[in-house]
Homo-oligomer: A and B are copies of this chain.
Amino acid sequence: MKIFTAPLAHLIDALKRLPGIGPKSAQRIAFFLLRADGEYVQTLLHAIREARDSVRLCERCNNYTDREICEICADKRRDSTTICVVEKPFDIAPIEKTGQYRGLYHVLHGVLSPIDGVGPEDLRIKNLLPRLGENQVIEVIVATNPDVEGEATAIYLAKLLKPLEIKVSRIALGLPVGSDLEFIDEVTIIRALQGRTPL
């Protein structure tokens, strides 16, 4: 026999597909959603639709934004001669939180991974090159994650940018190997930025 009534089973199934949500968490969230006040549920549903409808990628740096150009790229006070390259939009937040970086960003939305069939053409590198000339960029800091794919991507970028005579540096591997930039504390990130070395 089915233990849960069909609509509840469907809800639990859908929730289980969210990252980090196992059967128990899905059940707990389903239970919460059933009993939550209508206003909150409307807020949640609206937020999901709104984010999907209005969030797009900044035309310059590929960060998430609801405009053509993201707030960071549009901020005239930022140092446009330095670009920090990261794997994904959520890697920007921990760097911003340090308050130590005043340059711009470029989000690749992935890393090179031959095993998964991800090549350079699958990353958002194309719109990086025009930025370098336009902004008279002096340095590109590669802040991809300190794992095999992140390293390979860093080396690829260094080779790609070498002919342009732009300084390409790599954040220091003060980061524990195998970790994820998204989850690193601020102090470690500051040290990693300071300890960057030429590639």
Residues of A within 8 A of B (CB): 1-8, 10-11, 13-15, 17-21, 24-25, 27-34, 38, 40-41, 43-45, 47-55, 64-67, 70-72, 75, 88-90, 92-93, 96-97, 182-183
Contacts and interface: CB of A to CB of B under 8 A. Distances in A.
A1 B96 contact: yes
A20 to B, nearest CB: 6
Nearest to A78: B1
Contacts of A93: 3-4
Contacts of A4: 64, 93
B7 A54 contact: yes
A77 to B, nearest CB: 10
B45 A11 contact: no
Provide the main secondary structure of the chain A interface: helix
A45 B47 contact: no
A14 B54 CA distance: 16
A90 B40 contact: no
A37 to B, nearest CB: 11
B44 A7 contact: no
Contacts of A55: 5, 7-8, 34
A8 B51 contact: yes
Contact of A10 (B50, B96, B97): B50
Contacts of A30: 51
Nearest to A24: B183
Given A5-B67, A13-B47, A31-B88, 8 more contacts: A10-B51, A14-B40, A14-B44, A15-B47, A20-B25, A33-B51, A41-B48, A45-B45
